[in-house]
Structure 1
Amino acid sequence: MAPLTQDDRKDQDALKRRALDALGAGRLQEAESLYRELLAQDGMAADLWNNLGVVLAERKRPAEAAAALRNALILRPDYDKPWVGLGSDAFGDRLEEAVRCWTRAIQLEPRQGSGLWFNLGVVRQMRGEAAEAAALFDRAESLTPDDPRIASQRLLCLNYLDLPGERLLAEHRRFDQRFGDKADGSRPPAVPHANRPDPEKRLRIGYLSVEFREHLGAYFLTPLFEAADRGRFEIVCYSILPEVHADAYTARFKAQADGWRTIGHLDDEALAAQIRADGIDILVDLAGHSGLNRLPMLARRPAPVQVTWLGYPNGTGMEAVGYRIVDPVSDPIGPTDLHAVEALVRLPAPFLCFRPPASAPPVVPLPAGATGAVTFGSFNKLSKITDGTVALWAEVLRRVPDARLLLKDRPLSDPGTADMTRSRFAAAGVDPARLDLVGFIKDAAGHLAAYNRIDIALDPHPYNGTITTCDTLWMGAPLVTLAGSRHAARVGASLMTAVGLPELVAATPDRYAAIAADLAGDLTRLMRLRMGLRERVRRSALCDETRFMRNLETAYRLMWRRWCDDAATGRSA
């Protein structure tokens, strides 16, 4: 190839600008054509191969994109950007590869933006490396301190670690100091509410959530619609859920609500104004710091009474949120009150109500009868399986030498993540051959049927299961749980007490292992428990929707009366 002349270089620079403009404007076909034209002139330019890879990834042609990015690395091995692209290509089903690529990009260029540090933290959290993930979120937060999404993700991650409730409260308060304040450090102005302070009026309850869909909605939100006393309460939903993720349950909730707002496109000021205009008396946040949330908006106090419940195993840390709904088992009176900014409102246990999945297959006889050995199991996220949980479960397996342990979570579909999980247990003295690792099962019925492979469920600590525990019990596997000192570590105790099995709640790690081993050693008791467990759950407080809703509505009414009293004395905004 002849050397480029000065005019050639000018023409090439012009083409590069056009290609970048086309990519930035989303004209991907044009951008691809321009980059291919540029590469025909200079096929040794690593930056052009990288940019072509970006375009091809945007055009949903991952194999071609990866080939272009690898060409860039062949030409320039110390180039960080192709590693970023390759990591993005791997994210989803090749988590170990994503970690390796993104880590390499950071090694080559430590001054990466917060997005890469954040994404790497998400992947490492998914793989069960919560402590490492927390450090990455720290870095992302230091680079972009004004992004509440990063701050919330970091707080969520901290719940997986064995930290005291007081430390977690301090971290959550810091969120309020940063995002509950205005830029000048002052609180948003207290705007009086126009709501009529009538203690007995029909209340407008607003539910703010991303979960008006099958995942959480089908399990725990259905009673809010179907068992509500509509003569005394009306329901308005504020759905953060992007329309692309709406499903049949979304449509059902929408049809049952008295009012429905899809609010993902609204900024905080507009959303707060909408809630005020709707005359909401009690606004219930169902997200906390998990997933998509609108917590900074709550600092504007759009409703007279603001509550957080269900979607997050901790408080918000925000002074604008007055209440958090729990129960006396999940949050014993006294110590746990010191872990929250919000006033803890304790319903008669449990603090939630479970609607069993209609797609659940029948409970089968004890799997140990067919396999000849007890199988312990957990379907919780790997992020909950901390080193402390691995040690706890390793002790159970040591006491029951012929038992197996089945773990199921989507990231286990990635061979690298599965190998890492085996290595973690091997380091704790567990033969990896004793592990059965199950990844993603697409259909809900197939997922639930997988529970029929376990005899006894083991709850992680200090972040217990919730949906997984309810599923486990419904599918006939009793759960052993360790009760800790904060809410996330006491949800298992709440649920097991609610179904009448408090004897499976341990106060110490040694007792946890002993309960699990004793249960594994008495197959007659285990079979009896298994075959009666679904009916036990069905008849328990956990599934009593009418009882739960009357208790919840009583709590709402008491909160409202307190606001009315404050309004009468001029203490409310």
Structure 2
Amino acid sequence: MNSIAVPRPTNEIEQHRRAVRMNPRDANAHALLGIALLRQGELAEGAAGVRRALELNPKFRGLHAVLGAAMLELGELDAAQDYYRQALRFQDTADVHKGLADTLLRAGHPIDAEQSARRAAELAPDNTAMLLSLVAVLHRQGKNEEAIGMLQRVVELDPDHVDAHYDLGFLLHSLHRYDNAIEHYRAAVERRPNHFKAHHQMGLAHQALKQKDAAAISLQRARELRPDDAAVLADLGGAEQVRGDLTSALDILRHAVELQPDNMTALRNLAHALFTMGEWEEAVSLAWRMLDLEPSPYNHSIALFMLSHSCHDGAELTRKHFEFGERWETPLRGLQQPHANDRDPHRQLRIGFVSGDLYTHAVSRFITPMFEAMADSEQVSLYVYYNNVVEDAMTAKNRDLVKAWRPIVGLNDEQADKLIREDRIDILIDLSGHSGLNRLTLFARKPAPVQATWIGYAGTTGLRAMDYILADRFLLPEGRYDDQFSEQIVRLPMGTAFMPEQGAPEVNGLPALKNGYLTFGSFHRASKLNRGVIAQWSKLLHAIPDSKMLLGGMQTGIDDVLIDWFAAEGVGRERLLFRPRAKTNEYMRQHYDVDICLSPFPYTGSTTVGNALWMGVPTLATVGATNPSYAATVFMTHLGLNTFITEDDETYVKLGVFLSQNLSALAAMRATMRDRFLKSVLGYPGVAAAGLELGLRKMWQRWCAGEAPAPLRVELSELVPESARSVS
């Protein structure tokens, strides 16, 4: 007999046992008993019965596939493969090919499984089970685009297939196609409202798209389904922080860490929340703990970024940054390859920029006017390697200004290295440093012959492969911070252009003349504030007893912390004015209530100082032993306001008192500030672009000559055409 009859769906196991006892050599009896046992879940005994049937009658077609399925369930994968291959000698059916594919996949052989999975889908193109088997094989090999196509076919055939919708969303999510992913997560929860994973992942997709409220709603629903899931609490805490509710975020994140002390997302988000609250000591401690638990360049950068905001010791800050290079760059040096770039010192240069911040972000305020000024340059051709999925009108503007725009967020370092080399980039520029979305390990592979860092971070990368740092001559004064950089310093006449807020309101009169008292202000992010900063500002408020302090950009929870810090310094709540985070136009208008801005330390700011100056408000600042403390000086010095920069608290307070006694001078300064800005070098992005181009040319010429990187300087006089110099 070459086939068997399928028994009726009744419990006839005892009858089959009697049949076997009555005729032990009856292959059909053994087969019927084995199949009945398998259906009852008695896998081992059932498989033994089917195997005995095959021993008695090797030509029993159909039993090889049955045994293959049984062995697969029992986890005996070698045996399962053997039986399925034997079955294929008699049966070229979708089920058998699927069985073999599933077995090979479980055995860790996805490439071998692909042929069978494709044959199963070919034989039964409208069978969702066959298609899903092929999806699993493709996904295991990283062929996610094709897997997505198969899953789309599945949901066409069965629109209510919840798992297919979820899996499709998950794969789209992995490829950063968040909008499409959300559609399928939503389809899954519509059909299964308690689908925990879909709610969770949908929250993360919304978060990636910076859809703050939607992210929090989805993650809150996931929390309701699993209240003590540390992973969900970690993500929800992060979402609440992004929304601005730091008090809620801290409570949620501390609970997540209690539940799972080594949950990296919970630790990372808790450290960031504490950092945002100005609790630097605990935040930095958590950051180093994260690096111990999960050593990675990313976690190391987080720790360095936080340390740069809190460290007053220049030698210590430098040592910690150099350790990054020693730890993560050293293993990658062997991957560095020679460069075949044409060593012509005078040709047009291909300049690449690596950044994840080319959207409505502070970096764009500086880089976009430079792209505009260099868009038609004969000296340079611009390429961007964008490490983010977030895009907006500013992204589109930046894309239109450059020759080539390459998304690299989905590429690993090896793939990005290959792309940059194929583009024959001459000078590759990092715009992130140790800030978020950096690709410093890509730079460690040296994809371009000359590499530099610029704009995005106040400090060194610590990499030997980073040849230069491009800087304003006032940001890195000759000799002051030279030993704090692994890079050679290229001092430019103007470090970069600054794009004032075009929709900003007109400058108003000095508020002190109307109020009768001086109002100091700060619009810096709270993560730059600390008890030492508040102590310094409080000295100023005590020295001018009727003065007030306005604090802008506040998030829920921060104001209470600052009130306590000021109270500890003897400054009452009645002297503090709080302003919430606001859209750009309203934020600029908040300067209407401020006479003088104050800069924090040891990590100051540039964008905030530039915005204040555009609104007519100068910034009073102190500088210290670390380079991040010097950023506030740049715009002020370019405008001839370097007397607002001090080295110690005593001079700082004396200057504040002097200004409070000379309101007419402050009022005149305010009224003329925009004109001063526009007439200074800051008002001419072309000057910054020309200085940058010449700096890049000098760097390139050294490489062409086979010379090692060295400190370079570009003088304003070098930017004047020779013909103009000879006339003068």
Q: Among residues 278, 281, 294, which one is paired with 2:423 in the alignment?
A: 278
Q: Among residues 223, 246, 250, which one is paired with 2:369 in the alignment?
A: 223
**Alpha-carbon contact 1:330-1:486 (below 8 Å) kept:** no
Structure 1: which amino acid aligns with 2:245? R
Q: Among residues 513, 521, 528, which one is paired with 1:369 in the alignment?
A: 513
Name the counterpart of 2:560.
419
Higher helix fraction (1 or 2): 2
Q: Among residues 384, 398, 403, which one is paired with 1:258 in the alignment?
A: 403
Name the counterpart of 1:495.
635
> Deviations along 1:60-96, whole A, 9 cap, x unmatched?
58569647846866xx8xx867754663563333211
Q: Among residues 272, 281, 285, which one is paired with 1:122 in the alignment?
A: 272
Indicate yes or no: 2:524 matched with 1:380: yes
Name the counterpart of 1:174.
323
> Deviations along 1:166-190, whole A, 9 cap, x unmatched?
21222112222232233xxx62333
Higher RCO, Cα 8 Å, sep 6+: 1
Indicate yes or no: 2:490 matched with 1:345: yes
**Alpha-carbon separation, structure 2, partners of 1:267 and 1:53:** 28
**Alpha-carbon separation, structure 1, partners of 2:411 and 2:618:** 44
RMSD between aligned alpha carbons?
A: 2.8
Which consecutive unaligned segments of at least 5 residues does structure 1 have? Answer: 1-9, 11-17, 38-49, 569-573
Q: Tell me the secondary structure at the aligned position of residue 481 of structure 2.
A: helix
Q: Tell me the secondary structure at the aligned position of residue 578 of structure 2.
A: strand
Deviation at 1:213, TM superposition (A): 2.4
Name the counterpart of 2:34.
none
**Alpha-carbon contact 1:207-1:284 (below 8 Å) kept:** yes
Same amino acid, percent of matched pairs: 32
Q: How does 1:202-213 map to 2 (within 5 A)?
A: 202-213=348-359
Indicate yes or no: 2:690 matched with 1:550: yes
Q: Tell me the secondary structure at the aligned position of residue 382 of structure 2.
A: strand
Name the counterpart of 1:327.
472
Name the counterpart of 1:42.
none
Q: Tell me the secondary structure at the aligned position of residue 261 of structure 1.
A: strand
**Alpha-carbon separation, structure 1, partners of 2:544 and 2:670:** 19
The alpha-carbon distance between structure 1 residues 274 and 422, as it changes in their structure 2 partners (threshold 3 A), is: same
Name the counterpart of 1:529.
669
**Alpha-carbon contact 1:160-1:386 (below 8 Å) kept:** no
Structure 1: which amino acid aligns with 2:320? E
Structure 1: which amino acid aligns with 2:265? G
Name the counterpart of 2:129.
none
Q: Among residues 280, 287, 305, which one is paired with 1:156 in the alignment?
A: 305
When structure 1 is superposed on structure 2, of 151-160 and 56-65 the one drifting more is 56-65
Name the counterpart of 1:104.
255
> Deviations along 1:295-336, whole A, 9 cap, x unmatched?
100011111100001110001101100000123432222241
Name the counterpart of 1:198.
344
> Deviations along 1:470-527, whole A, 9 cap, x unmatched?
0000100111111222321111222211111111111211111211221122111110
Indicate yes or no: 2:294 matched with 1:144: yes
Q: Tell me the secondary structure at the aligned position of residue 353 of structure 2.
A: strand
The alpha-carbon distance between structure 1 residues 310 and 86, as it changes in their structure 2 partners (threshold 3 A), is: closer
The alpha-carbon distance between structure 1 residues 265 and 56, as it changes in their structure 2 partners (threshold 3 A), is: closer
The alpha-carbon distance between structure 1 residues 173 and 376, as it changes in their structure 2 partners (threshold 3 A), is: same
The alpha-carbon distance between structure 1 residues 211 and 34, as it changes in their structure 2 partners (threshold 3 A), is: closer
Give the number of aligned pairs: 524
Q: Tell me the secondary structure at the aligned position of residue 538 of structure 1.
A: helix
**Alpha-carbon separation, structure 1, partners of 2:202 and 2:415:** 37
Indicate yes or no: 2:282 matched with 1:132: yes
**Alpha-carbon separation, structure 2, partners of 1:88 and 1:504:** 38
**Alpha-carbon contact 2:234-2:265 (below 8 Å) kept:** no
Structure 2: which amino acid aligns with 1:463? Y
**Alpha-carbon separation, structure 2, partners of 1:493 and 1:56:** 44
Deviation at 1:343, TM superposition (A): 0.5
Q: Tell me the secondary structure at the aligned position of residue 563 of structure 1.
A: helix
Deviation at 1:289, TM superposition (A): 0.9
Q: Tell me the secondary structure at the aligned position of residue 330 of structure 2.
A: coil
Q: Tell me the secondary structure at the aligned position of residue 208 of structure 1.
A: strand
**Alpha-carbon contact 2:231-2:263 (below 8 Å) kept:** no
Q: Tell me the secondary structure at the aligned position of residue 227 of structure 1.
A: helix
Indicate yes or no: 2:615 matched with 1:435: no
Deviation at 1:108, TM superposition (A): 4.3
**Alpha-carbon separation, structure 2, partners of 1:252 and 1:33:** 41
The alpha-carbon distance between structure 1 residues 287 and 56, as it changes in their structure 2 partners (threshold 3 A), is: closer
**Alpha-carbon separation, structure 2, partners of 1:250 and 1:284:** 18
Q: Tell me the secondary structure at the aligned position of residue 198 of structure 1.
A: coil
Structure 1: which amino acid aligns with 2:537? W
Deviation at 1:195, TM superposition (A): 0.5
The alpha-carbon distance between structure 1 residues 21 and 163, as it changes in their structure 2 partners (threshold 3 A), is: farther
**Alpha-carbon contact 1:457-1:477 (below 8 Å) kept:** yes
Indicate yes or no: 2:703 matched with 1:563: yes
**Alpha-carbon separation, structure 1, partners of 2:562 and 2:486:** 37
The alpha-carbon distance between structure 1 residues 86 and 276, as it changes in their structure 2 partners (threshold 3 A), is: closer
Deviation at 1:35, TM superposition (A): 8.0
Q: Tell me the secondary structure at the aligned position of residue 361 of structure 2.
A: helix
**Alpha-carbon contact 1:483-1:490 (below 8 Å) kept:** yes
Deviation at 1:224, TM superposition (A): 2.2
Structure 2: which amino acid aligns with 1:461? F
Deviation at 1:101, TM superposition (A): 2.1
Q: How does 1:238-257 map to 2 (within 5 A)?
A: 238-242=385-389, 245-257=390-402
Q: Tell me the secondary structure at the aligned position of residue 159 of structure 1.
A: helix
Structure 2: which amino acid aligns with 1:413? Q
**Alpha-carbon separation, structure 2, partners of 1:567 and 1:64:** 56
Q: Among residues 538, 543, 568, which one is paired with 2:678 in the alignment?
A: 538
The alpha-carbon distance between structure 1 residues 317 and 64, as it changes in their structure 2 partners (threshold 3 A), is: closer
Q: Tell me the secondary structure at the aligned position of residue 270 of structure 1.
A: helix
Q: Tell me the secondary structure at the aligned position of residue 315 of structure 2.
A: helix
Deviation at 1:114, TM superposition (A): 1.6
Name the counterpart of 1:401.
545
> Deviations along 1:124-179, whole A, 9 cap, x unmatched?
11122222211111121111102x22221211111111332221222112222232
**Alpha-carbon separation, structure 2, partners of 1:152 and 1:490:** 21
The alpha-carbon distance between structure 1 residues 205 and 36, as it changes in their structure 2 partners (threshold 3 A), is: closer
Deviation at 1:375, TM superposition (A): 0.9
**Alpha-carbon separation, structure 1, partners of 2:642 and 2:350:** 37
The alpha-carbon distance between structure 1 residues 372 and 118, as it changes in their structure 2 partners (threshold 3 A), is: same
Deviation at 1:362, TM superposition (A): 0.3
**Alpha-carbon separation, structure 2, partners of 1:89 and 1:144:** 23
Q: Tell me the secondary structure at the aligned position of residue 98 of structure 1.
A: helix
**Alpha-carbon contact 2:347-2:379 (below 8 Å) kept:** yes
The alpha-carbon distance between structure 1 residues 24 and 124, as it changes in their structure 2 partners (threshold 3 A), is: farther
Deviation at 1:56, TM superposition (A): 8.8
**Alpha-carbon contact 1:456-1:479 (below 8 Å) kept:** yes
Q: How does 1:472-491 map to 2 (within 5 A)?
A: 472-491=612-631
**Alpha-carbon contact 2:189-2:199 (below 8 Å) kept:** no
> Deviations along 1:369-416, whole A, 9 cap, x unmatched?
23222110011011111221111111111111111111112xx231x2
Name the counterpart of 2:379.
232
The alpha-carbon distance between structure 1 residues 558 and 54, as it changes in their structure 2 partners (threshold 3 A), is: closer
Q: Tell me the secondary structure at the aligned position of residue 180 of structure 1.
A: helix
**Alpha-carbon contact 1:289-1:316 (below 8 Å) kept:** yes
> Deviations along 1:344-386, whole A, 9 cap, x unmatched?
11113x4222122211110000112232221100110111112
**Alpha-carbon contact 2:312-2:625 (below 8 Å) kept:** no
The two structures have a TM-score, normalised by structure 2, of 0.67
Q: Tell me the secondary structure at the aligned position of residue 181 of structure 1.
A: helix
Structure 2: which amino acid aligns with 1:312? Y
> Deviations along 1:246-276, whole A, 9 cap, x unmatched?
2222222212212221221111111111111
When structure 1 is superposed on structure 2, of 300-309 and 508-517 the one drifting more is 508-517
